[in-house]
Structure formats: C-alpha cells, structure tokens
C-alpha cells in the first residue's frame, strides 16, 4: 500500500485525506531577439524545443538541472491553502493601516 505525506509539513496523509499534487517545470528562458543577432541559419528555438522534448531522457548530457527540471509535491489541505496564497514563498510584508485624518 502506498503511503503519502505532505512534502511541506511532513504530516502523514490518511487514505481518506484529500491530497493535492503540485507540479512545476523550471527551465532556462532564452531571449529570441538576442538569438536573432547571430547571422547563421540555425533555428535556435527549434533546437531548444528539441532539447526540452528529450528532457524525459535523464541520460541526455545536454539537459542539466540548470536548464530544465520537473518538480512534484504532495500537499495536505492546509499547506495547499498556504501555497496558493504565496506560491513563491516570499515573505509577506505587513499591511499598514493608516488613519484617515
């Protein structure tokens, strides 16, 4: 039997608990305008697309974690709420409540 736990708070999730899956793709962004400055006939965007399509093959030496990475996390209900409010994990600055005088 498969056991799941929240990847954020580490709480073990019962089979009856609602579990959320977060999938992320992180990949290097290339500026097409910078590539246009080169005077060769290569289709750089096509080359990048082909590399990304081969990304499922972990043995491909052209793909590294600095170029492409897939992430998957299981979250409990409470951690999902926190994630949705602040997906990048930034510190939330306190809102100032100024008087109206």
Is the pTM of the predicted complex or chain greater than 0.95? no
User: Helix (H, G, I), strand (E, B), or coil: what is residue 49?
Assistant: helix
71-98 mean pLDDT: 86
Q: What is the pLDDT of residues 11-49, one digit of tens each?
A: 999 999 999 999 999 988 877 666 555 556 777 788 777
Measured over the CA atoms of residue 51, residue 67, residue 55 and residue 57, the dihedral's sign is positive
Mean of per-residue pLDDT scores for the chain? 81
Is the pLDDT at 59 greater than 60, yes or no? no
Residues pairing with 5 in the sheet:
12
- Report pLDDT for 60: 58
For the chain, helix, strand, coil in percent to 5 are 25, 20, 55
């Amino acid at each position: 039997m498969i056991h799941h736990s929240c990847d954020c708070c580490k709480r073990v999730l019962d089979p009856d608990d609602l579990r959320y899956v977060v999938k992320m793709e992180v990949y290097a962004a290339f500026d097409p305008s910078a590539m246009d400055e080169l005077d060769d006939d290569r289709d750089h965007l096509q080359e990048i697309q082909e590399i990304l399509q081969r990304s499922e093959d972990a043995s491909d030496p052209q793909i590294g974690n600095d170029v492409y990475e897939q992430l998957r996390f299981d979250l409990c209900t409470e951690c999902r709420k926190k994630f949705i409010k602040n997906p990048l994990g930034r510190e939330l600055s306190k809102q100032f409540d100024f008087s109206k005088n």
